[in-house]
Amino acid sequence: MASLIHKYPLPVREETGITVPEGREILHFGEQDNALFVWVLVPDRMAKADTFVPLAVHGTGHRIWEDTRAYIQTVQLKNGLVWHVFYREA
């Protein structure tokens, strides 16, 4: 089965997330034009239902409640800001 790579903007805030088709695989979080994005591998045959992936984005020095977070990746933007992306409990 073939797949496609989609790019989704990721708002920078403590409680955020993306809505993507079921069966997806998150590939990468990164910067483009001073904004935060997530690249996702999506099956070519889209699932019938979308699913919400709850995420959290914290800057360096921000307070994090570890019992509700699981670290994914750190992204440094060209403007010098550094964001840390976590899964969060829905």
CA 9, 68, 83, 57 dihedral sign is positive
Residue (of 83, 79, 81, 27) closest to 53 by Cα position: 27
Which pLDDT belongs to residue 50?
85
Residue (of 52, 54, 62) closest to 83 by Cα position: 62
Taken as a whole, the chain contains a residue count of 90
Average pLDDT over residues 58-62: 90
Q: Per the confidence metrics, is the pTM higher than 0.75?
A: yes
Q: 18-33: per-residue pLDDT in tens?
A: 998 887 899 999 999 8
